[in-house]
Amino acid sequence: MNSPQPITRRVALQSGLATAAGVVLTPVARADDKPAAAKKPTEFQIACMTLPYSAYPLRRALTGLKSAGYRYIAWGTRHVEVGGQRVPVMAADAPPAKAKELANRCRGMGLQTLMMFSGIYPEHRDGLKVLTHRLKQAAAGDVAHVLTFGHTKGGNRKLWIERFKKLGPIARDLGVLLVVKQHGGSTGTGQACAEIIREVDDPGVMVNYDAGNVMDYLNVDPTADIKKCADVVRSFCIKDHRNWPKDQDCGPGFGEIDHYRLLHPVAWTGRKMPLCSENIFAPVVARPTKPEGVDALAERARKFLEVVTRGLQA
């Protein structure tokens, strides 16, 4: 004799059995439900890069991000300092002590640095040397992620894998992650980057997801693409994109990317997950001519991401 099937809450209510003694009500499962044990929310760390302030001194970028309500930041590449000279935030050959000094300066302002650019392609002739030094800089400054990416025309997959296998143990020993994002060409999607990372098979090297680049360079839907790589995504470069009325990158919420769908696959990992806004600007219209205008856009990006992440985990 077959065992009786559990009565769902909906069926029980419809049939008037909800009050019947001994009836066990079983909720109807949805396709996106996860087991209760797996439902540990991701700790989204909402940050902004200093990159949107590249036309201004680094000090102004830091004070602007602090006033915009950020606790977390990511270092950009260069800033126009007093006198008009474009100065690297952290030179590739700077001693690790310099990174520690800058990170301490940021912490003194209440800002924790989550990510820094490597400034070099993995296949560059000096790629292994520079990336190794960048990992040491990051470790000295307690910067969790070092970001790298390939040329827009593609990368040398075989060499990437060879070098990442060497860099993975170094990153782990230093307590830092080397993360690889999409940048057009043969590494223009999260799926392509994930295939490389899975072949490297080292927890010291993971994927950073840049939805704006995926849509911009290859016109691929990032909300579909991220499902193919979510298991190896450990951080995001946040930028949005529009194909109309102008083909243009922009700040989160200004474009055509649905950030609820984008972040949903990584909303319950139990991990810390940096969300570092790289582009905060509005599409079509001119960019601000004063730093206060950048401050306002940085604050808007923060509030947008806070609403989205709160909603996903409500």
Residues 25, 152 share a domain: no
Q: What is the mean pLDDT of the segment spanning 17-45?
A: 53
Burial class (CB in 10 A: 0-12, 13-18, 19+), 261: middle
The encoded tokens of residue 132 equal: 């190794």
Q: What is the mean pLDDT of the segment spanning 115-127?
A: 97
Residues 231, 194 share a domain: yes
Q: Check if the beta carbon of residue 164 is closer than 8 Å to that of residue 200.
A: yes
Select the more confidently predicted residue: 97 or 39.
Answer: 97
The C-alpha atoms of residue 263 and residue 275 are separated, in whole angstroms, by 10
Residues 145, 16 share a domain: no
Q: What's the CATH number where 203 sits?
A: 3.20.20.150
The C-alpha atoms of residue 235 and residue 88 are separated, in whole angstroms, by 23
Cα of 102 vs its chain's centroid, Å? 22
The structural domain count of the chain equals 2
Residues 100, 45 share a domain: yes
Residues 261, 278 share a domain: yes
pLDDT tens for 148-195 read 999 998 779 999 999 999 999 999 999 999 999 999 999 999 999 999
Residues 126, 4 share a domain: no
Residues 136, 72 share a domain: yes
Residues 159, 271 share a domain: yes
Residues 243, 113 share a domain: yes
pLDDT of residue 141: 98
Residues 24, 95 share a domain: no
The C-alpha atoms of residue 85 and residue 173 are separated, in whole angstroms, by 36
Q: pTM of the full predicted structure?
A: 0.88
The C-alpha atoms of residue 165 and residue 159 are separated, in whole angstroms, by 10
Question: How crowded is the C-beta side of 200, counted as CA atoms within 13 Å?
Answer: 29
Whether the per-residue pLDDT at 118 is higher than 60: the answer is yes
Q: Measuring CA to CA, which residue among 60, 33, 19 is closest to residue 295?
A: 60
pLDDT tens for 56-90 read 999 999 999 999 999 999 999 999 998 999 999 99
Find where tokens 């080397």 sit.
178
Q: Check if the beta carbon of residue 171 is closer than 8 Å to that of residue 205.
A: yes
Select the more confidently predicted residue: 37 or 84.
Answer: 84
pLDDT of residue 38: 55
Q: Measuring CA to CA, which residue among 170, 179, 172 is closest to residue 149?
A: 179
Owning domain of residue 13: 1-31
The encoded tokens of residue 273 equal: 């997950």
Residue-level length of the chain: 314
The C-alpha atoms of residue 221 and residue 261 are separated, in whole angstroms, by 11
The C-alpha atoms of residue 41 and residue 309 are separated, in whole angstroms, by 10
pLDDT of residue 20: 36
Residues 200, 260 share a domain: yes
Residues 130, 23 share a domain: no
Confidence bin at 197 (pLDDT 50/70/90): very high
Q: Distances in Å between the alpha carbon of 275 and those of 26, 72, 74, 101, 289?
A: 37, 9, 10, 24, 26
Burial class (CB in 10 A: 0-12, 13-18, 19+), 52: buried
Confidence bin at 273 (pLDDT 50/70/90): very high
Angle between helix axes 157-174 and 190-200 (nearest 10 degrees) is: 70
